[in-house]
Amino acid sequence: MATPSASLQAHLRSQTFPIRSPLQLLRPPCPLLKLPAEIRLRIYEYSFAGTASVRSRLALPIVCRQIYNESHKLALASPMSFGSAPHFIDFWRRNEPESRAHIRHIQVRITNPCQIYRAAEELQAKCAEIPGECRGLRLETLTLATYCDLELFCWLLAGTTELETIKTMRLVDRIDEIRIRDPFKKNIYHLVGIFKGLQGAAQEEWGRMPWMAGFYEEVDYTGKDFVGCRFVRKEVLPRVLGLGLTEDVDETDLERLFVERSQSVLDKVEIPKFHQVLRRGVPTLVFHDRDNDRIFELRGIR
């Protein structure tokens, strides 16, 4: 094969390794960087706060180094989704301490009923196992998402009684709000039954707890609304309820307002009727699922 001419070699090299003049290096690589920095920051905020999928929103920082430097802190502060708690732990370890301080909202997928009330405590404990790893951990919201039908697992041994829940929640002190999402309504009967048990039993124990249990309403990225369950630390109730710092509301009124809003959300949910029975001395909620014409039970709920 003949050797390419010198002019052809120069042409190929110029296309592969283009030589740029100083003016070309200073020229912004994309129209976005031609905008003032203040406008770019507003665009980043809208991008990360939008309703698009997490994968789409987090594509912005990898456009170029300058956009990454300007936007990665906002990206960390936006809600991020992880396939499991270990995935988040790995992500946490790979970030510098100054970056971890910006992580405030995460979502973790759960595939086992046991994880519903243990994931938060285990996630916090895993972060604390390594010296210094938990120093910057302070989450505003931890969302546990149940995308699959958890009825396939053994709810009867899931450890979701109110006393076990209270015992676990005593150990969680670095998370302000724990949400349990059920966007496809595959587990709503179980979740509502458990939370009804929490609301109706062990009131004295919950009165001494720094947490409150209730329901919330949320709109997903498709525009559909759904009901979820949540634990909220009492000290952040003003922020969760959307009250300003200047509004003077005592603790009792805050808790009452939280309960009222929670009940108003629950009233919108069409849940099956249930009755309480004893199964070998264990308090049990018995549901009738009219859609599938079946009966199932939740044990350990008083």
Residue 17 confidence class, pLDDT cut points 50, 70, 90? very low
Query: What per-residue confidence (pLDDT) applies to 199?
Result: 61
Hey, what are 129's tokens?
């196992």
Q: What is the longest distance spanned by two Cα atoms in the chain?
A: 92
Residue 211, φ and ψ in degrees, nearest 5: -115, 155
Query: What per-residue confidence (pLDDT) applies to 111?
Result: 78
pTM: 0.71
Residue 287 confidence class, pLDDT cut points 50, 70, 90? low
Query: What per-residue confidence (pLDDT) applies to 254?
Result: 87
Across 33-48, average pLDDT: 79
Query: What per-residue confidence (pLDDT) applies to 201?
Result: 53
Query: What per-residue confidence (pLDDT) applies to 3?
Result: 55
How far apart, in Å, are the Cα atoms of 294 and each of 286, 287, 288, 297?
11, 8, 6, 10
Query: What per-residue confidence (pLDDT) applies to 12?
Result: 46
23-39 per-position pLDDT tens digit: 444 455 677 777 788 88
Q: Number of helices (H) and strands (E), helices first, in the chain? A: 13, 9
Long-range interactions of 110-115: CB distance < 8 A, separation 24+: 110/144, 110/145, 110/146, 110/150, 111/148, 111/150, 112/150, 112/153, 112/158, 113/150, 113/153, 113/154, 113/155, 113/158, 113/160, 113/190, 114/158, 114/159, 115/85, 115/144
92-142 per-position pLDDT tens digit: 888 787 888 888 888 888 877 777 767 788 787 777 665 555 566 788 888
Residue 155 confidence class, pLDDT cut points 50, 70, 90? low
H helix or E strand, kind and range, residue 15: helix 6-16
User: Higher-confidence residue: 144 or 206?
Assistant: 144
User: Higher-confidence residue: 24 or 58?
Assistant: 58
| DSSP E strands, 134-268 | 139-145, 175-181, 211-219, 225-233
Residue 9 confidence class, pLDDT cut points 50, 70, 90? low
Any idea where the domains of the chain sit in the sequence? Answer: 33-78, 79-269
